[in-house]
Chain A
């Protein structure tokens, strides 16, 4: 799942993941993501920090309240100079990616995490 309020970022990340054979769902803010997560059960969440309605920090906190969602690996994207300021909350922060990001680097990171987290091929 790609969660970002900026449509161009959301679309390019989703498009590149789809190019690589992943199934991708998108959400435009934390609230929408929280509503979709139980049903979609993604293998990985790529999450922006600053979003309207519900930001990334709050989504992480709320995911932590659900035992199943709390186990999901999350890649946090942030334009903040120091991404480690993000309060990680309960879910596992698999990686931080600073915006503007290198898409190929992010793709490699996602691939590693998915392989590590899922014993079977998730594509």
Chain B
């Protein structure tokens, strides 16, 4: 195998990408996803942790209190802690009127409390009326939950003598805000975004190889001094080179967005090595089927299987990306890298053998 031949093929593929301006589309796509995911971040973060929403509002909510007196009324009327203002303006109302007002959005919630005594055998059942599925009621619910939890603690104390076991106590001070986006950004967004170029590259290698078959340009290519396996490896090389470029661009975009990423170099190294597994799998599928529809179908199904399997393994490469980005990866990263490397070598050997066999049959046949 000659390095010059590989670079000829790789350069040919790059020229193709630039001529067709497909590369432009890839850049556009990246920008689009970047913009969109920052929009998504607001949505997804609130999905992960809706309590982060309550920070955004310093509004006092009107709620109605119906039914019997209880300690809950006092909690609703007082502020959550000394420094912050009260969350609610509470009105004593008749239940039917209150629910009608809620429907007209003149209230944010209605609480009904029965006359169960705190020390009774049966539980206290409070009925809470809120608005269906909207942003504002999400915030109100978060605030109400805190109040209910306080009241629950009270009641538990009253009934404490009836409990047989107490949990191991850990006192957790009140969180000071921040850290909401963290797990989503580092534990999901970064590994997925950084790994996406590997998936794109592996789909691309299928396109490049099947194209030679289906456009019947293969014979011309093999009649040059370039061998069949050199052609395959040249295409693999071209796709592989795209990975660090795109993944690096992601990291840069994230950093520009103010997301600090540690070990960017090591992250790229991991991505480059593990992406080779996908690209070689793609190449093998393409060599086997020689037809795009079938190859892409089988490959994308296989991709789901492989990624699901990898994610189910502890300290998998994707997890390593997360740990590298937050800076808690230890020396085990080199073991993972080594294991990935071994798989790459095995797949590389298979690809080489398969390509040689296909190449021979082309020359004889």
A binds B: no
